Structure 1
Amino acid sequence: MSFSCSEDDGPKTGGENYVAKGEYIITATPKESEGVADYVLNVETLMEGKTTLLGNGIEQDGTYRYYITNNNKFFSLLYGQGDPGAVNNYQLESDMSLTKSPSLPSETVQTFTNVNDDVLMARVSRSSDNPSAEWYSLNTNTFTFDAEGQINTAELAPEGEQAFFTWMTQVGDKVYAPFMSMKACCNDAWGTEYPDQAWVAVYSYPSMSLEKVIEDDRTSFLGRYFNSGLEVTDNGEVYGFSSSVATLNDEFTSSKPSAITKINPSTMEFDESYFFNLEEASNGYYIASQHYASNGKFVVMMRSKEDKGAYSSGNKLAVVDVYAKSFTWITGLPNANEISSITSTNYTSEDGSTVHVGVNTESGNYVYNINIANASANRGLKVEAGNITAISKLSPVEE
């Protein structure tokens, strides 16, 4: 099977129900090829119809790509697996064509987040000989790195271990960086002697000066490798999500449940009065990742504890209301055992009522449109010849 990167050879938009180009961004990996990068497509709707990678979209270079949208630009970050990375940005023109910037060389990074009009990125060392995290601030207006610095991660973690940031999140004018503690040595580089502890380093921005490290012993660390564990809701409240996947010698060792905690941004401390046990609410599942909708409600990607993995993605979805501490399984999705993957980069409608998630199965790859109010999903756009990896939206650039 061959693929074309030409935008001029787009799919038909007639009787075969292919949708026209539009504001929604879809990335997908070719199904019949290995070791190739995603294609970037744009479509007018996520609710129905179909699109295809065949003769359509923009082919990217490199194998692993990750995505973030800021300042009406869609950024694609190359994960170089130890080699240097790169950043591209895409913009939507008034004729609904996508334009791609020249690649901006960068380091391969493990965290990236929006801070105002910047994309803050960090490359985190896993070596006990060099316990550090290098951070870079990408200005989305100029598409240049405006600032960079280094963080000593051994100074954040308990003695004898070092911090590995799971993600970073803007909270007001600060950056909160949850981290796991790891030995980074001794044939058990990801293991920790502290499986029942959560930490968050708080930094001022843009200097990235450390203000404090806050901790909590009611859960294991927040987030997971390459997965955000901290979210800010509409009212400015901050919630932490723990999967409870800490290990020692490749065995899960945390005695704490997968749960949600809360941080008070005014005091920069965990709220001891708030605790939401997700394992209990879900009858034996743990959270793998989450996506914010609105009004304290999240779509959470869950997985059975019997099928726990430190890097496994969720295959059963629910709506969680962190304000009300309610948990509702989502109906209308394929069975968990039929799902091969679910997108980690998803899109919430402007009114917060619908979350659009890519669900890949052997029988087909579709965008599922999740109604947050009644926790139900409807199958929408079909993506042919590729596994969906991200969903976003851009507005056309004004001429």
Structure 2
Amino acid sequence: MKNTYLLFALGFAALLFGGCEEDNGSSPSPDPDGGASSKYIVTATPIASEGVADYILTADDLTTGTISTTANGIEQDGTYRYYVTSNNKFFSMLYGQGNAGAVTTYELNSSGELEVLSDFQAETVRAFAPVAEDLLTIKMTASADDPYLYWYRISTNSLTIVNEGQINCQEVANKENGELAYFSWITAKGDDLVYLPYFTIKGTTEGGWSTDYPDEANVAVYSYPEMQYVKTISDDRTSFIGRYFTSGLTFDEQGDGYAFSSAVPMNANWEVIETLPSAVTRIANATDDFDDYYFNLEEASGGYVIDSHIYAGDGKFIGIMQNKAEMTTAWGGGKAYAIIDVYNKTFDWVTGMPDPATITQITTGGNNLVSEDGGTVHVGVTTETGSFVYNIDVATSKATQGLAVEGGLITAINILNSASEEE
């Protein structure tokens, strides 16, 4: 998501005061009838001026070539957008700064062009993820005086809100001092359960995002689609899972959930509290609870913490890492890439990426794309010399520079099949 830090500031104020088949992970398959069976979707912010909206661009290849924001693409209305692909549809959601924002849905037609399917208003949310054939979104503006957050089910078939409800996040946290549960993200397990890792915050004018409980990880489990509370899973070997607006939990092919802690709880001055190391723990499929698995990422990396992760499959993750000695805020900023093998507990830096000191912007977490076979992870990286897609070979831990975006800063990478392929 672009401008994450600014979005956090807006969210903080609200709290206090109120892919397809790919042989090599590079090129979509051509349509034998002359159309385009799939396209890569690349969003980019024009660099010509401040406060401008993203453009949605399309490309046939992520390993080579150039696309441009100049006289090209579909301009989005509104400055702050975030994106998700589900049910072969591309959703562009406007951050409404506390107000309702537009949700614009696109599909790829048989000619390889993006077409608008719908454009409707929905609440500005701070967590969202595909679940079954829905998008589940959560609006979080709760405070100690009003401890409710709100969830919405958006059908990716009817493109309408089909259900909604509220959660008392003070009750979820269940703390003696009244702290609130703040969900970092949403992770689905199958079609009938959602796991919501959370950190606890005081939610008062004086306490803000601070906590008296920095050394614990909690995950609230809900049934789906009813969104009925099932239980909370807890662990005391790490701090909370994920970060603000950042996923920290992924289930693998065996149904085991790997939980990543960035170790960034805060005090009332927004300063990171010294706490347990950045590490990976596991929710075992067999018990649906944390087991004894533990992988210390700070130790393995030589002093780095994980900001966000991308799952490539077979126990291998791309970790976006930040030097703990250089960390000044809890809101991310990592620009170093590594391959984390959670099965074998190995950590290898990715070679071929730009020097982190030269990187000005990256695509984080779910804004990156994994090839169908899991062999390649496509990430967007901007330096002073330009904005490029880098293609990371998971097996070799080596990245190569690919598609260039002229006149823009890459904010997300996705892929769509043409609508005719789904019929």
Aligned with 2:237 (options 190, 207, 218): 218
Shift of 1:391: 0.3
1:197 matches 2:219: no
Please give the TM-score of this superposition, normalised by the length of structure 1: 0.93
1-structure distance, mates of 2:159, 2:333: 32
Aligned with 2:187 (options 160, 166, 169): 169
2-structure distance, mates of 1:51, 1:305: 36
Q: Is the 8 A contact 1:126 1:189 kept in 2?
A: no
Aligned with 1:330 (options 341, 350, 356): 350
1-structure distance, mates of 2:353, 2:304: 17
Counterpart for residue 377 of structure 2: 355
Shift of 1:383: 0.3
Write the letter of the residue equivalent to 2:314: N
Shift of 1:266: 3.6
| SS of residue paired to 1:388 | strand
Question: Alignment length, in residue pairs?
Answer: 379
Write the letter of the residue equivalent to 1:316: A
Counterpart for residue 279 of structure 2: 259
Write the letter of the residue equivalent to 1:182: I
Give the alignment of 1:231-310 within 5 angstroms.
231-249=250-268, 250-271=270-291, 273-308=292-327, 309-310=329-330
2-structure distance, mates of 1:101, 1:253: 46
Q: Deviations over 1:48-84 (max 9, x none)?
A: 0100000100000111111111110011111111121
Shift of 1:186: 4.0
1-structure distance, mates of 2:318, 2:273: 27
Aligned with 1:372 (options 387, 394, 402): 394
Question: Residues 126, 313 of structure 1: CA spacing in aligned structure 2 closer, same or farther, 3 A cutoff?
Answer: farther
| SS of residue paired to 1:195 | coil
2-structure distance, mates of 1:186, 1:178: 24
Q: Is the 8 A contact 1:125 1:164 kept in 2?
A: no
Shift of 1:187: 2.3
Aligned with 2:171 (options 147, 151, 155): 155
| SS of residue paired to 1:103 | strand
1-structure distance, mates of 2:166, 2:204: 21
Counterpart for residue 10 of structure 1: none
Q: Is the 8 A contact 1:112 1:167 kept in 2?
A: yes
Looking at both structures, which has the greater relative contact order when contacts are Cα pairs under 8 Å and sequence separation is at least 6? 2
| SS of residue paired to 1:298 | strand
Q: Is the 8 A contact 1:348 1:355 kept in 2?
A: yes
Write the letter of the residue equivalent to 2:104: N
Q: Is the 8 A contact 2:254 2:285 kept in 1?
A: no
2-structure distance, mates of 1:149, 1:43: 39
Aligned with 1:79 (options 75, 95, 103): 95
Write the letter of the residue equivalent to 1:239: Y
Please give the TM-score of this superposition, normalised by the length of structure 2: 0.88
Q: Deviations over 1:152-173 (max 9, x none)?
A: 0000112220011000110132
Counterpart for residue 14 of structure 1: none
1-structure distance, mates of 2:274, 2:117: 45
Question: What are structure 1's unaligned runs of at least 5 residues?
Answer: 1-19
| Between 121-130 and 282-291, the greater mean CA deviation after superposition | 121-130
Give the alignment of 1:24-39 within 5 angstroms.
24-39=40-55
Q: Is the 8 A contact 2:142 2:149 kept in 1?
A: no
Question: What are structure 2's unaligned runs of at least 5 residues?
Answer: 1-34
Q: Deviations over 1:182-225 (max 9, x none)?
A: 00114231100001111000000000000001111111100111
1-structure distance, mates of 2:416, 2:274: 41
Counterpart for residue 135 of structure 2: 119
Q: Is the 8 A contact 1:197 1:216 kept in 2?
A: yes
Q: Which runs of 4+ in 1 moved over 6 A?
A: none
Q: Deviations over 1:257-297 (max 9, x none)?
A: 011110023422111x2001000000000000001111110
Counterpart for residue 96 of structure 1: 112
Q: Please, what is the CA RMSD of the aligned residues?
A: 1.3
1:316 matches 2:336: yes
Identity among equivalent positions (%) equals 50
| SS of residue paired to 1:267 | coil
